[in-house]
Copies of this chain bind each other. A is one copy, B any other.
Amino acid sequence: MPGNSFGQAFRFTTWGESHGPAIGCVIDGVPPRIALAEADIQHWLDRRRPGQSRFTTQRKEPDTVRIVSGVFEGETTGTPIALTIDNVDQRSKDYGDIKDKFRPGHADYTYWAKYGVRDYRGGGRSSARETAMRVAAGAVARKVLEHVLPAPVTIRGALVQMGPHRIARKRWDWDAVERNPFWCPDPQAAQQWETFLDGVRKAGSSTGAVIEVVAAGVPAGLGEPVYDKLDADLAKAMMSINAVKAVEIGAGLEAAKLSGEQNADEMRMAGERVRFLSNRAGGILGGLSTGQDVVVRFAVKPTSSILSARKTVDRFGRETEISTKGRHDPCVGIRAVPVGEAMMAIVLADHLLRHRAQCG
C-alpha cells in the first residue's frame, strides 16, 4: 500500500534520498538464468548521468551501480536483485534557506503537509535523483524482454518539444538523437534549441519539454483489462516521473479533434500478420497492445529551481521570498528521456510476465 514500489510481476522498490549516503532499489520477480552484469546497467545510467553538458545540472555523480544480490556467477537466480549507487557529490552547504522555506513548484510544502517532517537537503526523497534507480531497473527490464521474447523490442525516446519549439516530424531521424545533448531527433531543431536553452540558462530561468517514447516489436495482447490496461499503466508510470504534467498515447489530445473515420486505424493483412494502415491508437486498443509501435508522450514542466526570487511562505506560516542558487537543470525534460524509456521497459516487462501467468 505504501507508494515506493512499481509493477506486479516485475516489481521494484526504490529507496534513498538526494543527500543520504546512497540510493538503491530491489527488483523482485526477474526470471532466472538471464546473463546480467553491472555494465549492462551502467550503460543506461551513463546516458542519464548529470553534468554531461552545460544543459544539465553540474552535480558530479559517477552513478556507479553495484549489484549486491540476485546474481550468481553472472546470471540472475530468480531471487531479488538489489542495486545500490553511492551518493558522492553531496556538497557540504548551508541549507538554511530551503530548510524552512517552501520552494514554489517543489514538493517542499506538500511533504511537510503530509508528514510533518521533511528531509530538506536537495529535496530529499522527492529529488529527481530517485530516477537513477528507475533507469537501473529499466536496464534489467530490457534484459527480461530480450530473454522472454523471441524477437527484440526496441525502446527509444526523444525530446520532441522544448518550451514552445517543436520538432518537424518529417525530419525525424533516430540516429540524430545520439548526436546532440537534447536527444532531439530533428537536427535542425536541435540547433535552434541550443540557442534557446543557452538564453534560458543564462537568464537563470528554465523551460518545459515534451518527450516521446516509442517501443517497437511489442507483441499483440499485452495489458490487463480493465483497470490495468497497458495505456493506464503507462500513464501512471510516466506521470509518476518528477515534473510530468501530461501523458498521451498515440494521437493523444489530438484524438479529441478527430472524426471516427480519421481515428479508427484500418486493418489489412501482411502475410499471416495483421497490419494497420495508421497508428492513431499508439499501439493500444481496449488497453491491450496491437502489435504496432507503442507510442507515449509526456510533458515535463519547467524546473522550478530558478534564479528569480519568488513569493513563498515558510514552515512557521510567514510570508517570504526564495530563489535558487547553485546548480540546476534549465530543462529537466532532457534527463527525463532515459527515464521515460526505462519506465516503458518496466511496464512492458511487467505486463509480459503478467500475460504469461494467465495466458501461458
Contact = CB atoms under 8 A, between A and B. Distances in A.
Interface stretch (A56-64, A150-158, A183-191, A204-212): A204-212
A325 interface: no
17 contacts: A2-B358, A4-B227, A5-B13, A15-B70, A16-B69, A77-B119, A107-B286, A111-B225, A125-B226, A200-B259, A239-B247, A245-B255, A253-B253, A253-B299, A260-B305, A274-B313, A356-B360
Contacts of A40: none
A240 B104 CA distance: 31
Interface string A216-260: 000011111111110111111111101011111111111111111
A255 B301 contact: yes
A33 B236 CA distance: 29
A6 interface: yes
Nearest to A144: B358
Given A245-B255, A303-B260, A357-B353, A287 B29 contact: no
Contacts of A24: 68-69, 82
B302 A263 contact: yes
Would you call the interface of chain A mostly helix, strand, loop, or mixed? mixed
Contacts of A237: 232
Copies of the chain in the assembly: 4
A80 B264 contact: no
A208 B357 contact: no
A343 B318 CA distance: 37
A258 B332 CA distance: 13
A308 B266 CA distance: 12
Contact of A77 (B6, B32, B117, B221): B117
B110 A286 contact: yes
A161 to B, nearest CB: 6
A108 to B, nearest CB: 8
Contacts of A23: 69
A306 B210 contact: no
Contacts of A319: 268-269
A24 B102 CA distance: 34
A67 to B, nearest CB: 9
A256 B333 contact: yes
A334 to B, nearest CB: 13
Given A15-B26, A240-B229, A310-B264, A359 B78 contact: yes
Given A205-B260, A290-B109, A333-B256, A251 B126 contact: no
A174 interface: no
A106 B264 CA distance: 8
A357 B360 contact: no
Given A26-B26, A104-B267, 5 more contacts: A15-B68, A20-B68, A32-B117, A110-B288, A255-B299
Nearest to A219: B113
B285 A109 contact: yes
Interface string A1-45: 111111011010111110011111010111111000000000000
